[in-house]
Amino acid sequence: MRLNTKSRIVPALFALAIAGNVSGQSISRMATQDSDVDLTDLSGTNKSLSTEEKSQAKKWSLTESDWLKYKEIMSGPRGIWSPGLDPITALGVSETDPAERRRYADIWMEVETRRIELELAFERERMAAGKRLHGDQKRINNDAWIEAWKKKQAQVTSVINLFVDASCLEECSSVAKSLLRSVGNKSKLDIYFKPGTPESEAAVWATYFQIDPKVVATRHITLNVHASKWKELKISTDSLPQVWVEDVATGEVTQTHGN
């Protein structure tokens, strides 16, 4: 199940809040009214679920009550703003109770992690199948592509090395987002996760920071779980994140972030 995390922002609410004309409670109340959903009162909803709906709720790790909320939400403006929005995200972005919002976030992460694990497992099997069925035979003549790729790589003047723990999300947000913005034709970003990190956790980290798989495919950003670079630069796992920048021309490596 692939999660769609599109959301809708209501500019008027933020404008009023900045002007100091609306209290926090008023904003919460207006947001609830705007979504046309009262999550504490589902009296207007048909409370009986079909067998198929109950099955769907279970597949998304949601309760039957959650599914009733989801149906109510998608029957209002949210269904127009974000058609096809997955149930967990729809519930999460519409929820006003912090505890419930946190519960939906936990469910989202569990479901997304499972999806990524399965996709990575299939990708490994697909690559193994290619090796098993075709060996080292070149299936596509990609010499021209390789030559073009080499020319692009030759333009790179600096390599940014980020050493990070895959569990570091909010705490690493500032440095990670800054580095991701710095990636361009003349610089690339190599991300090294703490040795022993499962590929699934690295994938969740990349998903959290919305790293485009297409950029990874071009090698402008790489995701690495091996320990060789850690040993080469003698990086301590007790002091993360760390950022080291390598000058391609001179080979000089300089630490720019971390202890």
**Complete DSSP assignment for 205-243:** HHHHTT--HHHHHTTSEEEE--SHHHHHHT--TTS--EE
Report the pLDDT value the prediction gives residue 189, as an integer from 0 to 100: 92
Q: What is the pLDDT of residues 100-145, one digit of tens each?
A: 999 999 999 999 999 999 998 999 898 889 888 877 766 666 666 5
Report the pLDDT value the prediction gives residue 127, as an integer from 0 to 100: 86
Rounded CA-CA distance 75/69 in Å is 10
Residue 201: count of CB within 10 angstroms of its CB = 19
**Topology, domain 146-257:** Glutaredoxin (3.40.30)
pLDDT at residue 35 is higher than 60: no
Give the mean pLDDT of 164-178. Answer: 93
CA 238, chain centre distance (Å):
25
- Spell out the domain ranges in the chain: 1-139, 146-257
Task: List 160's β-bridge partners, or say none.
Answer: 189, 245
User: What band does 95 get if pLDDT is binned at 50, 70 and 90?
Assistant: very high
Instruction: Look up the pTM and report it.
Output: 0.46
pLDDT at residue 192 is higher than 80: yes
pLDDT higher for 249 or 20? 249
Report the pLDDT value the prediction gives residue 147, as an integer from 0 to 100: 62
User: What band does 30 get if pLDDT is binned at 50, 70 and 90?
Assistant: very low
CB-based contact 48:57 (threshold 8 Å): no
Q: Computed from CA positions of residues 142, 146, 147, 152, in that sequence, does the dihedral angle turn out positive or negative?
A: positive
Q: What is the pLDDT of residues 198-212, one digit of tens each?
A: 888 998 999 999 998
CA dist 194 → 163, 225, 230 (Å): 7, 7, 8
